[in-house]
Amino acid sequence: MTLQEIAERLDLEILTTGVDLDRSVSGGYCGDLLSNVLAAAGAGSLWITIQHHVNVIGVAQVAGLGGVLLAAGVQPLPSVVERAEEGGVPLLRSSRSAFELAGSLYPLLH
């Protein structure tokens, strides 16, 4: 399933412009400790988090994640969105909790 399809199914807000969402998402990961995500999230996963500072983008790049989904309505600074666009990292957002989002995402991927 592509990130575009997931965004549509889960009614996610797409914050980045010009970043390809046609990529296939291989899995999901929940976590707010960046070091933990670096160590444990699989490449190509969609990362669900409430962390929204600029290092989140760097982590997504280093770990080769499929995208970052900000949960619980957290609002990143415009500079973070810009950084995501520069880095080609899809940044999405939802007002739903990480728990709900993970719950909805899981059956789509398994």
Partner 1 sequence: MSPRAIADAAAQQGLDLIAITDHNTASMTDVVAEAAAERGIRFLHGVEVQTREEVHVLAYFDRSEACQAFAEEIYRLLPDRPNDPRAFGDQPIVDLDENILRFEPRLLLNSVDLSFEDTVERILEHEGLAVPAHIDRSVFGLIEQLGFLPEGMSFPLVEVVGDVMPMGFDRGARLCSSDAHDLDQIGRRSTEFVMEAVSLKEIRRAAAGIDGRSVVCRNQKRR
Binding region for partner 1 (CB under 8 A)? 33-36, 38-39, 53, 55, 57-59, 61-62, 87
In terms of CB distance, is 6 or 83 closer to partner 1? 83
What does 27-85 look like in DSSP terms, one character per residue? EEEE-S-HHHHHHHPPTTEEEEES--STHHHHHHHHTT-SEEEE-TT----HHHHHHHH
| Least distance CB 62 / partner 1 (angstroms) | 5
In terms of CB distance, is 59 or 101 closer to partner 1? 59
In terms of CB distance, is 10 or 54 closer to partner 1? 54
Instruction: Supply the DSSP symbol for 16.
Output: -
